Amino acid sequence: MPKAPDQCKAMKFSPCFGMRFGGSQLDINVAIHPELAVLPSPSGSVPVGNPYMCNNECDASTPELAHPPELMFDFEGRHPSTFWQSATWKDYPKPLQVNITLSWSKTIELTDNIVITFESGRPDQMILEKSLDYGRTWQPYQYYATDCLDAFHMDPKSVKDLSQHTVLEIICTEEYSTGYMTNSKIIHFEIKDRFAFFAGPWLRNMASLYGQLDTTKKLRDFFTVTDLRIRLLRPAVGEVFVDELHLARYFYAISDIKVHGRCKCNLHATVCVYDNSKLTCECEHNTTGPDCGKCKKNYQGRPWSPGSYLPIPKGTANTCIPSISSIGNCECFGHSNRCSYIDLLNTVICVSCKHNTRGQHCELCRLGYFRNASAQLDDENVCIANVCDNELLHCQNGGTCHNNVRCLCPAAYTGILCEKLRCEEAGSCGSDSGQGASLQGPRALLLLLPPLLLTALLATASPLGF
């Protein structure tokens, strides 16, 4: 597959990012089962593959002659390669089976191909397995065989036979198990080829891949592991029959295992650190746990959710919000006991303010009410009804509203809204009073009524004759 360009590294949560988890680091534990000591090779035996391998003597108890598991993870920039080597197939026809288990004690998201380099010829039969629960249960990742039908009762396939719809299919491949005569020593588990079904052959359309990972849990889980297990079931033979006179020719030897991945933090962290020699996410967004998989105490105002790749390119944090119980009285001055967290503003506001109040802390008065200057903010009577305002309760007949408390009326008018003629109080509104004497009867009443009430009267009353 062509090498992917580096532009995908620009995105914060790019699957192109990854670090190699090597055996020389603290982030991996390697277990070999059964623990096979490498025994002295019979004289005259010709080992398969690397000419620098044990052709005279190998002894696991002697450091100079040993080939321990650590040599599968050391730097391979020199020649000859260093390698781990199993015991020979001295107990043939009893199967020579070895399990190599890699454990991180942490959930890991794979970001590149798993590559295993053999020095003894690639095995005739092998299974790569994964665990998502720290080795309690296992499931196959891929089968490898020279004859898939004979070894595992499966038709041979390659990753090129898959598609977007079958990318999660567990296959058996014969591509990497062609015996010891081949020049190639490498076995792959193809991660990037599977990414390419969504991102294209050059991995240029990473947004498409992110969208699929974001919305398809099974796809995310497919690339997620806590442990890997390499099950070596049959060594490279190269012939139809095993040469029982030279059983020392048959064994397993691995010089390098590469696993590229990143800590799974559910997109709630950008850094993974060691805590007591264990990988742990440095959680953000008020989350906690080894994988940032839950909300912190007092931040459970809504259910935990993983971060999202969408919308591309910034994504969505899905921050855990404060719990109502942790907010206390929400600083609502006693006018509410309910609060809500606004993620966009990163702030808490009071909900359902009572006593005619409103605002983030119920510190303001509702429309139609004004602040009672003689009352404290936590007083139930802090907001009292407006006598007048410039929106609903208009002063009539040229009056002006003063601080929502009263109308300042012209000399000829009185009343709460300046709706009455002052002469009416004295009973002197005659034709010669000079105070609107012509405004008598129904006409005078209609002119003094507030506009909304006037409309209702005109719609329902009988004709007034003018």
Read off the CATH number of the domain in which 273 is found.
2.10.25.10
The verdict on residue 396 lying in a domain is yes
β-strand partners of 261: 19, 110
Q: What is the pLDDT of residues 100-139, one digit of tens each?
A: 999 999 999 999 999 999 988 899 999 999 999 999 999 9
Does 241 share its domain with 94? yes
Q: What is the pLDDT of residues 248-306, one digit of tens each?
A: 888 999 989 999 999 999 999 998 888 887 889 999 999 999 999 999 988 888 889 99
Mean pLDDT (the chain, rounded): 79
Strand, helix or coil at 104? strand
Does 83 share its domain with 177? yes
Does 212 share its domain with 237? yes
Given a cut of 50, whether residue 392 has pLDDT beyond it is yes
The pLDDT, as a whole number, for residue 159 is 96
Give residues with Cβ within 8 angstroms of 371, minimum separation 6.
365, 382, 383
* Token pair for 131: 């665990």
pLDDT confidence tier of residue 164, bands split at 50, 70 and 90: very high
Could you give the C-alpha distances from 92 to 59, 124, 237, 251, 377, in angstroms and in order? Answer: 20, 15, 12, 11, 90
Given a cut of 60, whether residue 36 has pLDDT beyond it is no
The verdict on residue 257 lying in a domain is yes
The verdict on residue 13 lying in a domain is no
Does 247 share its domain with 349? no
Does 251 share its domain with 271? no
The verdict on residue 49 lying in a domain is no
Does 258 share its domain with 274? no
The verdict on residue 15 lying in a domain is no
244 vs 436, higher pLDDT: 244
The pLDDT, as a whole number, for residue 203 is 92
The pLDDT, as a whole number, for residue 449 is 46
The verdict on residue 394 lying in a domain is yes
Does 271 share its domain with 234? no
The verdict on residue 458 lying in a domain is no
Does 128 share its domain with 272? no
Q: What is the mean pLDDT of residues 367-379?
A: 87
The verdict on residue 6 lying in a domain is no
Does 63 share its domain with 211? yes
Counting the structural domains of the chain, the total is: 3
Q: What is the mean pLDDT of residues 63-79?
A: 75
Read off the CATH number of the domain in which 250 is found.
2.60.120.260
Q: What ranges in 55-140 are assigned the alpha helix state H? A: none
Q: Which of 386, 406, 421 is the last residue of a domain?
A: 421
Domain carrying residue 233: 29-37+58-263
Q: What is the mean pLDDT of residues 355-383?
A: 90
Whole-angstrom distance, CA of residue 1 vs CA of residue 24:
29
Does 171 share its domain with 220? yes
Whole-angstrom distance, CA of residue 90 vs CA of residue 317:
58
Q: Under a CB-based contact definition with an 8 Å cutoff, are residues 108 and 221 in contact?
A: no
pLDDT confidence tier of residue 188, bands split at 50, 70 and 90: very high
Does 116 share its domain with 258? yes
Given a cut of 80, whether residue 428 has pLDDT beyond it is no
Whole-angstrom distance, CA of residue 194 vs CA of residue 203:
10
Q: Which of 320, 350, 366 is the last residue of a domain?
A: 320
Does 153 share its domain with 96? yes
